[in-house]
Structure 1
Amino acid sequence: MNFALSDDQRLLLDTVRRFIDEVLHPLEEQIESTGVLPDEVARRVHAQSKELGLYALNMPEALGGAGLSAVDCMLCEEEFGHTTDILIRRAFGNVYEALLACKGEQVERWLKPAVSGERTCAIAITEPGAGSDAQGIRTTARETAGGWVLNGGKHFISDGLWSDFFLVSARTGDKEISLFIVDKDLPGFRIGKDQAMMGIRGTPHVELFFDDVPLERLALLGERGQGFRMAMQNLGRVRLAQVGARAVGKAAHVLDLMNRFAAERRQFGQPIGDFQMIQQMIADSVIEVNAARLMVHRAAWMIDNGMDARDWISMVKVHAAETLGRVVDRGVQVFGGMGFCKELPIERYYRDARIYRIFDGTSEIHRTVIARSARKLGASLFQLHR
């Protein structure tokens, strides 16, 4: 196996790194203090990223995207992890692969504008009674002569204030879930409160309410009754990117800060990096970050080769999320009192890291998935090449 990066990959990653360092990092402190990314700044960041060809990297070239492989996307997503969530969304886009199911008029109306960044999209599955249990939704879509009528509600919908349309899961029968494209300005569609969060400041997490919202027949994405399957397929790639790869990037960023601080900070006449306990925290972090990184690349390689990566993505989700939590916790410890102060970003990274073990399926849910697969598949799940 060749782990070397090609010249094209190196050029791409260098471009992403420079953009994050020069354009995005200077904006983080303002977002953290105000909780808001101003619209005019968001539009400027978006335009600068598009000019460099960094928007919608995961989408096909034929549609205006970059057409990157899953492995190349994950290399970029790790770099994205070095900045904050809302800046990633504005700069690089949040274009869901589920939109590739668009056909006919849907392509011009929703898919292409999403890829170009003219319109933005959020996915709306989570409900108060249906978090990790995505099949437990109660939102309904009733078929009519002219289309559908949508009723129900969603919550914790990331980026809902900025989005122009939503991919909404709804029951179309007792045992049937379908996926719908819902424009924000439809009658009966109301956006509720923005739920304040412990971390990831600047990213709205809103409630959505649907009161007899009329939908065209065209609003059905894919086939009726296939919404749960489509959502889960889409969320697999999302988990690998937005949780797995970005968690690795965030952990690597904190590890770099730890390592430099341990070399500069002196106690008892020597750098604290000379103390064995500090060395152990750094060494454990290096080991875990690299293990998580290799797991991400393995799962992405499986996707590129047409293999079923669901079990590996669940393993990545657990390991990368929990690695990030452990590394950031060690970071606070290495920085000591300064790690607990808002003057440095370490305490922000600590708060931001906690959600990774919860969203897109909790660690407990994914462990259940892994254990069931282990019982079913046996050694083939434990070995790379069987």
Structure 2
Amino acid sequence: MTVTVPGPTLGVVGGGQLGRMLAEAASPLGVDVVVLDPTPNCPASRVADQIVGAFDDPDAMAELAARADALTFEIELADPDLLDELADEEDIEVHPSPDALRTIEDKLVQKRTFGEAGIPIPPFHRVDDAADLHAALDEFGAVMLKARTGGYDGRGNVPVTSPDEVEDALDSLGGPAMAESFVEFERELSVIGVRGTDDIRTFPVGENVHEDEILYETIVPARTNDEVTDEADRVAREVLSHLPGRGVFGIELFETSDGDVLVNEVAPRPHNSGHWTIEGALSSQFEQHIRAVLGWPLGATDRRSPTVMANILGTVGSARESKLGGLDAPLSESGVSLHWYGKDEVRPLRKMGHLTAVGNSDADVESLLERARTLRDGVEFL
């Protein structure tokens, strides 16, 4: 392939914060972006053209394909069958492959695929009814009940620890589910991996801090030993080898108390735990995704510096217009960057933006984390 700029136009299914950051990364490369999203004036519309339409609207999707030279998606609600049809009818490349989306969008299919490939995963059980969930409790003792499709940011995940909780848990999900054995883990890790035309690259291993199933911070380098990070990278590359198509994949992992690494979940797109790469790596996950989807050479994934990403989440209370204050401190701090996603409405625990803090020495990662938390906790919604 010969790369020239101005370059092609990339069509993106989804115009949330990931679509916005994809468009921001595309601009310096000479790549235009058009997004499809059902929400008028979606976050990505500030920096990209928008087609307003549902993710499964054939006409809107056909318009997106007509305006683009390649297609990708930033949300698992994209319809893989429709993407396949467009690839054939419009003669347009879609990456990652719709087959990868089919594998990942259903958590049961995802777990079965990885388990059959010999990739380490927690024990799991299919759940179609109360009897299945009772059987899973008898086998595992306590489980995380997960909706098979549609769950994100902790939604669709319900811990179940006793038979008395079975009916309420199933009612809360309202559809097919899977039960995964609780894992006694030391920490949660993630690897952002990228599949190019003929190679696989990974970013350094990150450590994720969750509360209420929501990602609060990502810390790079992860506060673990070299053996664990090497194994996490190996497992991530094994996952990538079993997912077709080009692009970035976010791979969430558990480090167990025994030092083993298990795959938790995989996203076929840039991932919140990879936002640190914008300031903390030689190329960001978003630039890498664009390069990979277009079939361009991949960039370097080396870390520039120790980095902490802290999410800015909506506070508990009524939904209201979004406006953030208390920014004098983070904007005055050397090595701190603000990312605001441009969402119109604040809702409890909704990801509204993030702060990134970079340091000079790996030995300072604890103080860097405390710094990022203090600055993040000092901002407020007005």
Query: TM-score, length-normalised on structure 1?
Result: 0.29
Query: TM-score, length-normalised on structure 2?
Result: 0.30
Greater share of residues in strand: 2
Q: Which has more radius of gyration?
A: 1
